[in-house]
Amino acid sequence: MPRLVSLRSTLTAVVLGAAIVASLPSTDACANGAQRAEVGPSGLPLPRFVSLKAGRVNMRVGPGLNYAVEWLYLKEGLPVEIIHEYGNWRQVRDAQGAEGWINQALLSGRRTGLAAPWFRGKKAYIPLLSEPSSGASVVAQIQPGALGKIRSCNGEWCRMEFSGHTGWMDQTMIWGAYAGEKIGD
């Protein structure tokens, strides 16, 4: 589970954080993961996926160290979606839909993905295949929510690595790559 520790913010910090967020553009256009053709102040597209660079990352209610910590992530490499930029702070969304602010120094451009986290807790596995084809042989059965490295995506399939097993996964089964997005190669 990506969000391991919840730290409740004070009412004052929430009100101040809401004031900053209210002054930023709306996130409604990208709420369902649809990729917009918007460019942020950094010159990079918004929204976009990145990963956590450190094994201990605070997500705050606003863009600055004076804002309360809402979540503490304890897993390096977890994918998050950047939805806004403010100075050296990035407003992010995690796979469970939680939103907050993380300093850009704690984020990496390395692409990772979670295998169908929406199936977590169900008796289902996601096949990792030998080729980018639904008829290919199964290399491994991946547990929902498992963290993997994205090696490349062709818009329909992503070449992934999970605990030393490399293969292809249907791109719609990965939280960390947009539908139709091409990565690498």
One domain, residues 158 and 146: yes
In the block, residue with structure tokens 């249907």: 170
One domain, residues 42 and 67: yes
CATH label of the domain that carries residue 26: 2.30.30.40
- Boundary (domain end) residue, out of 87, 110, 133: 110
In this structure, how many other beta carbons lie within 10 angstroms of the beta carbon of residue 100? 25
pLDDT-derived band at 3, boundaries 50, 70, 90: very low
One domain, residues 79 and 11: yes
pTM for this model (two decimals): 0.80
One domain, residues 90 and 15: yes
Position 26 pLDDT exceeds 80: no
One domain, residues 63 and 137: no
**Length of the chain counted residue by residue:** 185
One domain, residues 46 and 82: yes
- Boundary (domain end) residue, out of 110, 129, 159: 110
pLDDT-derived band at 123, boundaries 50, 70, 90: confident
Total tally of structural domains belonging to the chain? 2
One domain, residues 67 and 130: no
Q: If you compute the radius of gyration of the chain from its CA atoms, what whole number of angstroms results?
A: 17
Q: pLDDT tens digits, residue range 62-84? A: 999 999 999 999 999 999 999 99
- Boundary (domain end) residue, out of 110, 135, 151: 110
One domain, residues 22 and 74: yes
Angle at 50 between CA 48 and CA 52, to 5 degrees: 150
One domain, residues 69 and 93: yes
- Identify the CA nearest to 54 among candidates 103, 92, 6: 103
Q: How far apart are CA 140 and CA 137, in angstroms?
A: 9
One domain, residues 15 and 105: yes
